[in-house]
Chains A and B, each alone.
Chain A
Amino acid sequence: MGLTSTPSDLLPGTLELLILKTLVSGARHGYGIVEHLRLASDDVLRVGESALYPALQRLLLNGWVKAEWGTSENNRRARYYTLTTRGRKQLAAERAEFDRMVGAIQQVLGTT
């Protein structure tokens, strides 16, 4: 895995899942999401803007998150994303699906 994980490296839909999970703890702006993912994965997941913003737009389009302009901790205007109720449901569903997939993959890898 390279320094920056692009969507093609992850399973389809994984980035969206990770973003939804990140937002469970509260509203964050784009940079905050990237930083959270980097720290939480011990610098493994470095998400580039070219992947992050299309993913955020997809989430907006589906109505799973909503965006609002606000002020960041160091007084910059930034756009904050929050989870919607539908987003929360989607997170649960996708998480179950992801677990199923990962389980299946490990099962395949486990057999020799």
Chain B
Amino acid sequence: MTTIFRRLRYFLGRSRHDADLREEIEAHRALRQDALERDGLAPEDAAHASRRALGNVALAVDDARDVWTIRTVDSLWQDVRAALRGLRKSPGFALVAIGTLALGIGANTALFSIFSTLILRPLPVRDPGSLALLTNGSWSYPIWEEIRVRDNLFDGAFAWAGQSFDLSPGGQSDPVDGAYVSGRLFDVLGVTAIRGRMIGPADDGGAAPSFGAAQDAPSASRGADGLVAVISHRLWRQRFAGASDVVGRQLTVQRVPFTIVGVMPPGFFGPDVGRMTDVMLPFAAEPRIRGQESRLARKGSWWLQIMVRLKPGHGIEQANAALRVAQPQITEGATRTLEPLTLVSAATGRSSLRRQFETPLFAMVVAVGLVLLVACANIASLLLARALARRRELSVRLALGGSRWRIARLLFIESLIVAVTGAGLGLVFASWSSALLVQQLSTWESTVSLDLALDWRVLAFTAALACLSAITAGVAPVLGLKSVTAGEALKDAGRGIAGDRRFGVRSTLVVAQIAVSLVLVVAAGLFLRTFASLNRLPLGFVPEPLLVAELNLQASGGPAEERGPRVERLRDAAAAVPGVRSASVAAEQLLTGGGWASSLVGVGDGPMSPTRPFLWLNATTPGWFETMGMPLRSGRDFEAGDRVGSRLVAIVNEAFVRRFLPGEQPIGQDVRLGTRRGDTVGTRYEIVGVVGDAVYTTPREGMLATMYVPVAQRPPETFWETVLLTINAAPGRRAAVERDVAAALTRVDPTIAFTFGTFDQLVEATVTQERLIAMLSSFFGGLALLLAAVGLYGVVAHAVRARQTEIGLRMALGADPSSIVRLVFQRVGVLIAAGLAFGLAGSLWAARFVEALLFQLEARDPVTFGGAVAVLAAVGLLAAWMPARRAAGLDPATVLREG
């Protein structure tokens, strides 16, 4: 044991040890020179003589050093060099093998790095392990106030609310992801500024109580520096070019000027994983931006997240218990009943993406793992072929006394080198492709931003993959080596007639490759069909000519009462732009998966009954249905006479009629909507029209019962903060119209904030996940198919070459070419059939795991399964056909002469 320890110490201090030794030997020589001089020699002669007596210093040092090293290490190095030489001699093989592995490992690493960043990596803050998130859902500011005054229950607490902030001073919006944060957020997280300072409690002092009524006298809601903001490192770099004097500069947020007081450190993105929080403002600034509509005092607005840091030594259980004791006071006056307050560990932060992407991400990780397996099988097959081609050499080595172990090691090192090189390239491929994948997750509505740094987790994962691949690929050739006996190949000299047995291992590999590929092709087929059927779903409107401008009426201030006329002016301006066929306004953004809904509906004078699924609601201006291309089935559209004060009217869709008024004449009937539980009267609307069905939430959920009310009948004091100006543009002029409408809007109302989008983007966003899965699984399925085809081709080609003599003999004896092709195909057919059988069994078993990701499709869809089998059989036969053709074209005379 101690010797090993000393060897290790030697190994670590190698260079110093060598220097010591050299100096020691030089000292030895000097001492001898001294002795010789004492004996009467001239100094020069003494130096000469002493050097002669010493002999070769380098050799002495080498010998002395050898004592410490182990012979195996040395011979291992020899093997590595031999393997490198071998790979350099066949660059084709090396390229194919390394390239295949680079793709396989790269794809795995890419997915894993997303998985790791989203789900595994702790927040980059001080001691993330002691952070806990208050679940479930969001909280109101008054509740946060109650927790804040009790933050001595913990080692600090903070709240934040993610927001999209418009940084533009006017006109077209310039949205960034931001958040309102409580004063102690940075302090509790332990994040310090790299420029200036972070937001502190003084900036957020007594925000809610002082808010009260006046929006233009909030001096108490400001800290010492006035309205302050901190920005992310990224924003600092991108917008301010990393200027060193950024602290103190102005930043317009939602049309309100803020002073930048600090820059967050690089790598810190906020408490939300998957979201780069570029601008943070104290909650105290919220009333300045939202004016009278500030949510700080509202008990019914659930919009913040709360995190606490547990006291040292405290567990989650203790914190929960302490919290629940105070719960009655904390939640007093809450507008909804609350379950017991529960903290959960938040070491990895919070992310709304996790639930959405967990299942698909996991499915893809499995798929990509299978691809790597196929890739390894291919490399194993190639390595095995190389080992067999080198049977002569290996057999000579054995005959000369080389140990089987040493030769096996040589072969294994070859696969290890391929694996390590492949993994290195794979990392490069991964860092590029994972960024591309994350981009695909972003939509118009939400930007996904993940910091995909290659951390130790990803590197360890890649290293493990490389080792695994080396083992998987390296075992086969070593097994194949068993069939090599000393000197046997010399006798044989490549003149063997029936060489089939040696291909046993490779055949097994090919069967496995076909089986795994079938599983992947089936999965790709299922996901593609899901995606296709989602895209074929009817929308109920015509998206192609449509443009949507989201108008933010809130950002530029002004009382809510002025919004109605303002929208009217903006709509008129847009409608006057050349190329605009019609322009109208709706209150709700469609295709976001949510919206405005009522859960308490009464028909006629009947009872109010809770409705599930909800009745979806929207408010529109006259002409909106025409703009959208939704047909009016009966009755009338809204008109100028539907105003505040006139009788409340509504238009319903056909799904509404089917659900609430089956078989009745809907026009003239009354609908009542309740607002609170126990409301028996509700607000009464008269149905004046019926329109065709259109998608409200997502195409996947289909046509839902929907009711439309006039925008003009909305009470002015509760007018919406944002509305959607919907424009039907003349064909092919959408881009020009967008530009002209933007200019017209800014001309009419210089302070209006707006963002343009199209319904195509919205429709696309509803299938982001499905599109991504379909794309990835097709890519992986195709890759596996290609690899399996290459593997099969390799095996058949090799088998044909090895049986050349036999085939030549058969032909010389009168076999015609077609019978030779049949001969080859018989064997290949068995391999393909076996692979397909295993693959089918595997797919049938695995299908249930993807069931949740499919749409309008059985997990064991016979068409998909049949199609996948046909594709694989075709590709397999094609791969076998080429070498079979070559075999049939052999000239028996040449073959027999040359052996």
Binding site for B on A (CB under 8 A): 29-32, 34-35, 48-50, 53-54, 56-58, 60-63, 72, 74, 76-79
Q: Which residues of chain B are within 8 angstroms of A30 by Cβ–Cβ distance?
A: 24-25, 27-28
A-B complex: 3 closest residue pairs judged by Cβ atoms = A31-B31, A57-B67, A53-B64
Within 8 A of A (CB), among B32-73: 32, 34-35, 54-56, 59-61, 63-68
Instruction: Decide if B20 is an interface residue (CB 8 Å cutoff).
Output: yes
Chain A contact surface mostly: helix
Q: Which residues of chain A are within 8 angstroms of B21 by Cβ–Cβ distance?
A: 53, 57
Chain B interface size, under 10 / 10 to 19 / 20 to 34 / 35 or more: 20 to 34
Q: Which residues of chain B are within 8 angstroms of A54 by Cβ–Cβ distance?
A: 60, 63-64, 66-67
CB distance from B10 to the nearest CB of A (A): 8
Instruction: Say whether B68 contacts A74, CB under 8 Å.
Output: no
Partner of B68, one of A35, A61, A77, A79: A61
Instruction: Say whether B3 contacts A49, CB under 8 Å.
Output: no
Whose C-beta in chain A lies nearest to the C-beta of B30?
A76
Instruction: Say whether B67 contacts A31, CB under 8 Å.
Output: no
In the complex, besides A49-B28, A54-B63, A78-B24, 5 extra interface pairs with C-beta distance below 8 angstroms are A34-B28, A54-B66, A57-B65, A61-B7, A63-B2
Instruction: Say whether A77 contacts B55, CB under 8 Å.
Output: no
Instruction: Say whether B63 contacts A74, CB under 8 Å.
Output: no
CB distance from B101 to the nearest CB of A (A): 41
Q: Which residues of chain A are within 8 angstroms of B31 by Cβ–Cβ distance?
A: 29, 31-32, 72, 74, 76, 78
Q: How far is the CA of A58 from the CA of B24 in the complex (A)?
A: 16
Whose C-beta in chain B lies nearest to the C-beta of A60?
B6
Q: How far is the CA of A61 from the CA of B381 in the complex (A)?
A: 46
Q: How far is the CA of A57 from the CA of B20 in the complex (A)?
A: 12
Q: Which residues of chain B are within 8 angstroms of A78 by Cβ–Cβ distance?
A: 24, 27-28, 31
Partner of A29, one of B3, B6, B27: B27
Q: Which residues of chain B are within 8 angstroms of A72 by Cβ–Cβ distance?
A: 27, 31
Partner of A50, one of B3, B10, B34, B63: B63
Binding site for A on B (CB under 8 A): 2-3, 6-7, 10, 20-21, 23-25, 27-28, 30-32, 34-35, 54-56, 59-61, 63-68
Q: How far is the CA of A30 from the CA of B30 in the complex (A)?
A: 12
Q: How far is the CA of A29 from the CA of B31 in the complex (A)?
A: 10
With contacts A57-B67, A62-B3, A63-B6 taken as known, whether A50 is within 8 angstroms of B56 at the C-beta atoms is yes
Q: Which residues of chain A are within 8 angstroms of B63 by Cβ–Cβ distance?
A: 50, 53-54
Instruction: Say whether A31 contacts B32, CB under 8 Å.
Output: yes
Q: Which residues of chain B are within 8 angstroms of A48 by Cβ–Cβ distance?
A: 55
9 A-B pairs with C-beta separation under 8 A: A29-B24, A29-B31, A30-B28, A35-B35, A48-B55, A49-B55, A49-B60, A50-B55, A61-B6
Q: Which residues of chain B are within 8 angstroms of A79 by Cβ–Cβ distance?
A: 20, 23-24, 27
CB distance from A45 to the nearest CB of B (A): 15
CB distance from B877 to the nearest CB of A (A): 64
Q: Which residues of chain A are within 8 angstroms of B54 by Cβ–Cβ distance?
A: 49
Partner of A53, one of B2, B23, B25, B32: B25
CB distance from B29 to the nearest CB of A (A): 8
Q: How far is the CA of A41 from the CA of B35 in the complex (A)?
A: 19
Instruction: Say whether A77 contacts B23, CB under 8 Å.
Output: yes
Q: Which residues of chain A are within 8 angstroms of B3 by Cβ–Cβ distance?
A: 61-63
Q: How far is the CA of A50 from the CA of B7 in the complex (A)?
A: 21
Q: Which residues of chain B are within 8 angstroms of A53 by Cβ–Cβ distance?
A: 21, 24-25, 60-61, 63-64
With contacts A29-B31, A62-B3, A76-B31 taken as known, whether A49 is within 8 angstroms of B25 at the C-beta atoms is yes
Q: How far is the CA of A62 from the CA of B68 in the complex (A)?
A: 10
Q: How far is the CA of A49 from the CA of B55 in the complex (A)?
A: 8
CB distance from A36 to the nearest CB of B (A): 13
Whose C-beta in chain A lies nearest to the C-beta of B10?
A61
Q: Which residues of chain B are within 8 angstroms of A61 by Cβ–Cβ distance?
A: 3, 6-7, 10, 67-68
Whose C-beta in chain A lies nearest to the C-beta of B55?
A50
Instruction: Say whether B27 contacts A50, CB under 8 Å.
Output: no
Q: How far is the CA of A61 from the CA of B30 in the complex (A)?
A: 26
CB distance from A38 to the nearest CB of B (A): 11
Q: How far is the CA of A56 from the CA of B66 in the complex (A)?
A: 12
Q: How far is the CA of A71 from the CA of B438 in the complex (A)?
A: 67
Whose C-beta in chain A lies nearest to the C-beta of B24?
A79
CB distance from B257 to the nearest CB of A (A): 71
Q: How far is the CA of A59 from the CA of B23 in the complex (A)?
A: 19
Q: How far is the CA of A77 from the CA of B23 in the complex (A)?
A: 9
Instruction: Say whether B67 contacts A74, CB under 8 Å.
Output: no
With contacts A49-B28, A79-B24 taken as known, whether A74 is within 8 angstroms of B6 at the C-beta atoms is no
Whose C-beta in chain A lies nearest to the C-beta of B6?
A61
Instruction: Say whether A50 contacts B67, CB under 8 Å.
Output: no
Q: How far is the CA of A57 from the CA of B634 in the complex (A)?
A: 104
Whose C-beta in chain B lies nearest to the C-beta of A50?
B60
Q: Which residues of chain A are within 8 angstroms of B28 by Cβ–Cβ distance?
A: 29-31, 34, 49, 78
CB distance from B24 to the nearest CB of A (A): 5
Q: Which residues of chain B are within 8 angstroms of A76 by Cβ–Cβ distance?
A: 27, 30-31, 34
Q: How far is the CA of A54 from the CA of B24 in the complex (A)?
A: 13
Most buried by A among B2, B55, B60: B60
CB distance from B443 to the nearest CB of A (A): 66
Q: How far is the CA of A76 from the CA of B35 in the complex (A)?
A: 13
Q: How far is the CA of A71 from the CA of B602 in the complex (A)?
A: 106
Instruction: Say whether A57 contacts B64, CB under 8 Å.
Output: yes
CB distance from A37 to the nearest CB of B (A): 14
CB distance from B106 to the nearest CB of A (A): 45
Q: How far is the CA of A53 from the CA of B18 in the complex (A)?
A: 12
Q: How far is the CA of A48 from the CA of B59 in the complex (A)?
A: 12
Q: How far is the CA of A78 from the CA of B32 in the complex (A)?
A: 12
Whose C-beta in chain B lies nearest to the C-beta of A63?
B2
Q: How far is the CA of A54 from the CA of B67 in the complex (A)?
A: 6
Q: How far is the CA of A63 from the CA of B2 in the complex (A)?
A: 8
Whose C-beta in chain A lies nearest to the C-beta of B27?
A78
